[in-house]
Structure 1
Amino acid sequence: MTEWTYATQWESVAKAVADKPAIVQQDNVMSWREFDEAANGLAEYLVQSGLGRQAKVALYARNCPEYLVGTYAAFKASLVPFNVNYRYGNDELLYLFENGDAEAVIFETVYAERIDAIRSRLPGVKRWIAIERPGFPLPGWAVSYADIRPCENAPTGNGPRRSEDLMFIYTGGTTGMPKAVMWQQGDLIGKGGYGANPLLGLEPMKGPEEAGDRAKAMPIPVRMLIAPPLMHGTGLLSAFAALSVGGTVLLNRPDHFNAIETLDLAEKWQATWMIIVGQPFAQPLLDALDAEPGRWNLQSMLFFTSSGAMWNEENKRGLLRHMPQAALMDAFSSSEALGLGSSVMTSADTVHTAQFALGEDCAVFDEEGRRVEPGSEIRGRVAVGGFIPVGYYKDPVKSAATFIEIEGRRWSMPGDWALVNADGSLTLLGRGSQCINTGGEKVFPEEVEEALKRHPAVVDAAVCGMPDPRFGERVAAVASLKPGMSADPMELVDHVRGELAHYKAPRHLLCVEKVPRAPNGKMDYAEVRRMVTEAFAINQP
């Protein structure tokens, strides 16, 4: 039986194209040989530190080569890597490390003080491995990543690698708490067609060991510029795709997204592919190109791929004015349901916003579990079958609600609602829940509402998403106060920022006499949106 693992693929590539750049960030160019040997050394260190088969390794860092080395090392040693949102506050981090059963944490020293505040409550972590950054010293309780020496040979501990070896992708849950999507590596690789890629003229591989020969014979160079964070599925899985064909991953500086720096990087390295997350990335790129037309030579750019946030038609047209040779691909996916749908726009073809072709092995089901017929105007939930996750880690209730058996087979149905047009394409309606997507970050109203209600003056609160021209949505809220008490709206916003990641704090907050609820006690979100729209003169789409 063939065992499909990323480590086996990437080791094959490293042998075949050892001197080719694997990862580039500013002046730091890491060859495939260096990438492989750094991962060997780290993997051996983790095994010698007592991490057994499928022990969990948390990656708490911004975009950097060490992030991908840490992931590769975990795969080599049959460990389970998982992503940590570096915007989280202390309580959120504590929950994540505990929920993920982290036994090792690889982190930037930028976050050492935050970790130190919760470290005593995490006895299960055996090793804290620090990536040192200027101005942020190595804490005494951590080992320096730089002191872990590369080596030529992969570790032999923890037994042979298997297709069932897991990786976790943490994503938000409907309760507001993050959930770990459990993917088997074999299923992720199978989801990608075992290396098949019609855009690159690639047929499926028979085994992961063929990746090296494929890398040497690539018809089109893959130099993939990944603009979004690796801590999210869009960035990380895109990096996996590039590495699996022997490509080069291009990374911006880690502290922020800058459109001019991104375009400079694309030109310098003749990027052939760029990964973005919808309008929050696409609009600054277009603004920069329009402000200085002709400054950048982007003739090498063949593909743009976006996932995770809305990307409007006007922006796509604008980008194609500057890169008429490119294909702009909008992927409709989530961490638990890859390949729900896609749209491709070129200079010759226009695709309207929120219009997607239904993905292979996908269907739309109504609330009774019946397939929605094209042109029926019946709303349904989009589902994907075939290679799908095992479930959510340590959450059987949520797993049962999302991974559903219909028509005698198992489907992933995360809650995206759509209409099926007469031609079989989808018109995406959004999540059935009240999930807010702000710049690709998921914000769940219940979590922010509870944070607001922990303020001593607040008796009730409601949170909703409102349109934002750049980030897709912004967080808005209404709150009612306890009799005889007062609070300034900014005081309540600052209270939320003290408890949750800053992007979850309301941009608009209105104090009202009573938060609107239906007779059954459920929140009347339509009325909440009306109140916020009127109070802050927000333009509805």
Structure 2
Amino acid sequence: MGQTDKPWFQHYERGVPHDIPAPERAIHTLLERTAERYPARAAITFLGASLTFRQLWQDVQRFAAALQAMGVRPGERVSIMLPNCPQFVTAFYGAALAGAVVVNTSPLYVARELEHQLQDSGSETLIMLDAFFPRYQEIAENVPVKRVIVTGIQDALPFPKNVLYPVRERLRGNWVPVRSGGRVFDMKRVMRRTAPRPTPVTVRPDDLALLQYTGGTTGVPKGAMLTHRNLVANCEQARAWLPGLKDGQEVVLAAIPFFHVYGMTTAMNLAMLTGATLVMVPNPRDVKMLLGLVEQYKPTLFPGVPTMYNAINNHPETPKHNLTSIRACISGSAPLPLETARRFREITHGANLVEGYGLTEASPITHANPVFGEQIEGSIGVPFPSVDALIVNEQGQPVPTGEVGELWVAGPNIMRGYWQRPDESAKVLFEREGRTWLATGDMATMDDGGYFRIVDRKKDLIIAGGYNIYPREVEEVLYQHPAILEAAAVGAPDPHRGETVRAYVVFKPGMSVTWDELNTFCRERLSPYKVPRQFERRDELPKTAVGKVLRRQLAEEARTPSSRSA
């Protein structure tokens, strides 16, 4: 049986279509239509506060009108730098309703990283949490931002929590006062004085909706251009993959961040499409709080990453909580250890935790194991409805079933290309038989049944705790240190994060630096999850004949038990 026969269809669960109609609507219509169907149903719960779908849609309309009143025009980039909170949902759909292009921006970014993304995207509007404001102040004169809209966690809390929260943060030394004026606006005040009547804007399915930054296959962060059709398609594909899902009755535990495309699609957008209640987890690392939210709100769907499920499996409080409400979980962003899946099904008494696969350029999901059907351990499952997949050789030709090659995917969820980087787009997007195919950079196999396995990464991406880390970013920071002559960053096995960053460094003659000093240096220039956890000094780094560092050789060494670390 050849690859072109699509043998995976035989493993689709009853009720899962082979294809979905090409979406012909904008992303904000997911919420708009659900607000019409289930106006009184809770759309969001957050630390004791709750918003119905009617209230949420009104907030979105107010915010869209406020953006328009500030001068935001269709096609302008609007960066959102917020954790999971109601304001993120309002900002995301409000910007889309106004015809703007959202730029998801990690709250973990340090000032240097934020500066790069704002410059590269050309964002003239930045929506951010008050606690992050000092980072913007460091770079304010170097970026094209014309307006900064600031909000705080307290703005989403009910009384008296909204009063007590600032007091607590002041006592902890975390409070960051931000004054409105000039180019700085208070989101709550702006919305309070704005009517929910935005000027109608025509938004077409193929219009750009989102710039989601990724290292792609090269390692330099760049914006994947995702259209409204891309985002809606992947959301509808995820919905189709859950044939037993009941509109207006589900509860989604939103522990993965919305600024990550996986969390945005499988938690936020899917909830808006189906009328599910979003239970927002402000800090997924607080496993005790997460367990309490599960017991209190009884979520039925729990998309997450392996580290999250593993943390629940091993937390001492887990046996005290009832987790049986959870029916389905799709794990993404990193390989799912078999033992993690087995143990999670055991403690939840049957929750179906299955491994999926995707990448930013695909909005992001392309494959998953059937949630209630045949699951092949160690595989990423089969392609989603309307997704085609091929395993190809270096010439782009299909290889025989069972052989290793690069995974290519096609479908309505595949990006338009990389923002202002046609040369990089040409390296990963290919026309074949009238369709656009995305070369994933991952080496894989397909068996006779149409199940796919990732066997290696063609790219050198490091995935730690579900976060993508691009070695070149880490290396560039290391090279900034005056004592470093050469540097290479690779992924090393880690029992909790899946992988962690190991840095190999060569000192300049007569110079040295302690690991603590190097760690501090990196923490000032990188998000915490990107900072190397392991350092190793070398007299020289392995290189090719032309002088290119053999990073893959170092990565192999890092995976061996005898490998050294400082």
Q: TM-score, normalised by structure 1?
A: 0.89
CA shift in 2, pair 1:195/1:443, >3 Å: closer
- Structure-1 residue corresponding to 2:71: 50
- Structure-2 residue corresponding to 1:274: 302
- Counterpart-to-counterpart distance in 1, 2:327 and 2:463: 28
- Structure-1 residue corresponding to 2:150: 130
For residue 206 of structure 2, give the secondary structure of its aligned residue in structure 1: coil
- Kindly tell me the number of residue pairs found equivalent between the two proteins: 516
* 1:269 Cα deviation from its structure 2 partner: 1.1
* 1:305 Cα deviation from its structure 2 partner: 1.6
* 1:43 Cα deviation from its structure 2 partner: 0.7
8 A Cα contact 1:361 1:384, kept in partner: yes
For the pair 1:36 / 2:62, whether they are aligned, the reply is no
For residue 120 of structure 1, give the secondary structure of its aligned residue in structure 2: helix
Find 1:86's aligned residue among 97, 102, 107. 107
* 1:26 Cα deviation from its structure 2 partner: 1.3
For the pair 1:180 / 2:184, whether they are aligned, the reply is no
After superposition, residues 370-449 of structure 1 pair within 5 angstroms as 370-375=397-402, 377-449=403-475
After superposition, residues 104-183 of structure 1 pair within 5 angstroms as 104-122=125-143, 124-133=144-153, 134=166, 135-141=175-181, 142-149=184-191, 153-157=196-200, 159-165=201-207, 166-183=209-226
For residue 499 of structure 1, give the secondary structure of its aligned residue in structure 2: coil
- Counterpart-to-counterpart distance in 2, 1:340 and 1:75: 24
For residue 223 of structure 2, give the secondary structure of its aligned residue in structure 1: strand
- Structure-2 residue corresponding to 1:210: none
* 1:332 Cα deviation from its structure 2 partner: 0.4
Find 2:338's aligned residue among 313, 325, 337. 313
* 1:308 Cα deviation from its structure 2 partner: 0.3
The one-letter code of the counterpart of 2:293 is L
Find 1:251's aligned residue among 264, 268, 280. 280
- Structure-2 residue corresponding to 1:242: 271
CA shift in 2, pair 1:350/1:291, >3 Å: farther
* 1:534 Cα deviation from its structure 2 partner: 7.0
CA shift in 2, pair 1:433/1:127, >3 Å: same
- Structure-2 residue corresponding to 1:452: 478
After superposition, residues 421-500 of structure 1 pair within 5 angstroms as 421-500=447-526
The one-letter code of the counterpart of 2:274 is V
CA shift in 2, pair 1:194/1:229, >3 Å: closer
* 1:132 Cα deviation from its structure 2 partner: 2.8
For residue 381 of structure 2, give the secondary structure of its aligned residue in structure 1: strand
* 1:296 Cα deviation from its structure 2 partner: 2.2
CA shift in 2, pair 1:344/1:470, >3 Å: farther
- Counterpart-to-counterpart distance in 1, 2:514 and 2:562: 16
1:120-152 Cα distance to aligned partner (Å, 9 max, x none): 222x32221101353221234521111023566
For residue 170 of structure 1, give the secondary structure of its aligned residue in structure 2: strand
- Structure-2 residue corresponding to 1:302: 327
8 A Cα contact 1:132 1:144, kept in partner: no
* 1:231 Cα deviation from its structure 2 partner: 1.1
CA shift in 2, pair 1:536/1:39, >3 Å: farther
For the pair 1:287 / 2:314, whether they are aligned, the reply is yes
- Counterpart-to-counterpart distance in 2, 1:114 and 1:168: 21
- Structure-1 residue corresponding to 2:251: 223
The one-letter code of the counterpart of 1:439 is G
8 A Cα contact 1:497 1:505, kept in partner: yes
Q: Which has the higher contact order (CA 8 A, sep 6+)?
A: 2
- Structure-1 residue corresponding to 2:82: 61
- Counterpart-to-counterpart distance in 2, 1:200 and 1:529: 41
Find 2:41's aligned residue among 20, 31, 34. 20
Unaligned runs of 5+ residues in structure 1 are: 203-217
The one-letter code of the counterpart of 1:432 is K
CA shift in 2, pair 1:194/1:424, >3 Å: closer
The one-letter code of the counterpart of 1:478 is Y
For residue 415 of structure 2, give the secondary structure of its aligned residue in structure 1: coil
* 1:532 Cα deviation from its structure 2 partner: 4.7
For residue 257 of structure 1, give the secondary structure of its aligned residue in structure 2: coil
8 A Cα contact 1:328 1:344, kept in partner: no
Unaligned runs of 5+ residues in structure 2 are: 1-21, 154-165, 167-174
- Counterpart-to-counterpart distance in 2, 1:429 and 1:467: 16
8 A Cα contact 2:271 2:278, kept in partner: yes
- Counterpart-to-counterpart distance in 1, 2:412 and 2:341: 31
* 1:292 Cα deviation from its structure 2 partner: 4.4
